[in-house]
Amino acid sequence: MPVHLASTIETPDYGAEVIRVGDLNGDGAPDILFIQSDYGSRAISCLTAVTIHGTFLWQVGTPSAANGRIYSDLPVQIYDWDNDGCNEVLYVRQAIYADPVQYPLGDIIIRERAHRYEGDAVMVVLDAATGKQKHSFSIPAPADDCFLFADLTGRGRREDFVVKDRYWTMWGIAHSGEVLWRWEGATGHFPAIADVDGDGRDEVFVGYALIDHDGSVMFQHDAGDSHQDAAYIVRLPDGEWRLIFGNGGVHCLDVQGNVIWHKPMREAQHVVAGHYRDDSAIQLAVIDRGWPRSINGNPATLYLFDIESGREIWRRVQPPGGWGAGCIDIRWQTVHGLQDIMVYMRGVGQPAAVYDGNGDIVDEMPVPEHYCGDYDSGEGVTPCHYCVRADVHGDGRDEVIVFGWKGARIYSNARPLALPTLYNHTFYPGM
């Protein structure tokens, strides 16, 4: 078998549709953090840390099988925040939504913002080895959606961060907790970060705008009636930068905000640049999700474009029911060679799949049906599974972590990895 099931983790009460992967216990190997929240609110309710073999490490909060599903990404990261050589877990504890804005989604009540808050939100920093709180600091009350680390102050390391509310505002915050700046606009789901002007500090591509490290707007366009679903910043071989985002299509911009090319689509939820084939320098993998969002909706489609010209290289239509399909770049076959593309939630009951740069399926990873839970999402669609990739074994190739509401599996590429110093072994090393 070319695919090896390396680990199975059953999660009867602490399973989640959001995980983070990183070394938690300090042994140098990656671990898994399962993140539960109150559905529709992004309020973190339970964090559970386990090894990749499912050995329990610690738990903060109260686990509940009802809190395993997600409405959106969640404000939790694993990172060596204090640069002491050991990781911390950081998460945002919400302020009180004293006068919340609420609306129904099926039988669920969604709470994304409030007319009035009481108190501040709090960034909580936990010892990753024990789950015990090390320290915390206040951040603005609405800033409780996803956050990403960035170097905004020229520290030489990404020790500051940017954090957003659901769709309307983003803040740049220093390592000390000082609010550096505030930007209002159509944030979309998450930003992308890179030092595109070479001054040693990061810029933030968010929505349809590029924000300098100090909060000044480098360019900003009207997002219209749609928001950004995905963002990516990539540097071309000639040193030029390209800003990619997806919403009702895929847009490729330069750092001045000029549109290089645009491909209309229904819902381009994932855009991932990489080197998947040798006939051009960089390509862009894009998922156009199936529509409408139901098990009977049109299938999703995986596209591969040349990033410089926008030329479509190929497309692969997925099985029916892929309303939640997503794609991720992955080093599945080689360490230094071409990358592959992993696609999950391809259709009802379908395995996750790894595509090569020619658009051929290299391997498939089965997804246990019960991982997807037994709830109704409130949108009239079936529950789903997700995938991330991580170099679990430390050999340079990625493993696939398939997870859902009720469990997780780790799959490895079982093909031998040809390393010259291993298969040409002599008593006198020197190769």
Task: State the pLDDT at residue 409.
Answer: 97
For residues 108 and 85, give the distance between their C-alpha atoms in angstroms, rounded to a whole number: 42
Of residues 341, 398, 411, 331, the one with CA closest to residue 2: 411
For the chain, 431 residues long, give each residue's pLDDT as a single digit of tens. 689 999 999 998 999 999 999 999 999 999 999 999 999 999 999 999 999 999 999 999 999 988 998 889 999 999 999 999 999 999 999 999 999 999 998 778 999 999 999 999 999 999 999 999 999 999 999 999 999 999 999 999 999 999 999 999 999 999 999 999 999 999 999 999 999 999 999 999 998 999 999 999 999 988 777 789 999 999 999 999 999 999 889 999 999 999 999 999 988 989 999 999 999 999 999 999 988 777 777 899 999 999 999 999 999 999 988 888 999 999 999 998 999 999 999 988 899 999 999 999 999 999 998 888 665 555 555 668 999 999 999 889 999 999 998 899 999 999 988 776 777 777 787 75
For residues 201 and 157, give the distance between their C-alpha atoms in angstroms, rounded to a whole number: 9
| CB neighbour list of residue 430: distance below 8 Å, 6 or more residues apart | none
Q: What is the pTM of this model?
A: 0.95
- The arrangement of strands across the sheet holding 88-93 comes to 76-79, 88-93, 121-127, 133-139
Whether the ω angle into residue 292 lies within 30 degrees of 0, i.e. cis, is yes
Task: State the pLDDT at residue 227.
Answer: 84
For residues 50 and 123, give the distance between their C-alpha atoms in angstroms, rounded to a whole number: 22
Distances (CA, A) of 187 to 135, 163, 164, 182, 413: 29, 10, 8, 12, 37
Of residues 218, 232, 231, the one with CA closest to residue 189: 231
Q: Is 420 helix (H, G, I), strand (E, B) or coil?
A: helix
* pLDDT, tens digit, 9 for 90 and up, residues 246-277: 988 999 999 999 999 999 998 898 999 999 99
For residues 419 and 392, give the distance between their C-alpha atoms in angstroms, rounded to a whole number: 18
Q: Is 423 helix (H, G, I), strand (E, B) or coil?
A: helix
Task: State the pLDDT at residue 321.
Answer: 84
Of residues 346, 404, 344, 343, the one with CA closest to residue 375: 404
For residues 223 and 365, give the distance between their C-alpha atoms in angstroms, rounded to a whole number: 37
For residues 164 and 75, give the distance between their C-alpha atoms in angstroms, rounded to a whole number: 9
Task: State the pLDDT at residue 31.
Answer: 98
Task: State the pLDDT at residue 375.
Answer: 58
- How is residue 98 written in tokens? 């004293």
Distances (CA, A) of 272 to 294, 383, 405: 25, 24, 25
CB crowding 119-138: b at 16 or more within 10 Å, else e:
ebbbbbbbbbbebeeeeeee
Task: Give me the DSSP letters along 257-319.
Answer: --EEEEEE-S-EEEEEEE---SSSS-EEEEEE--SSSSTTSPPPEEEEEETTT--EEEEEEPP
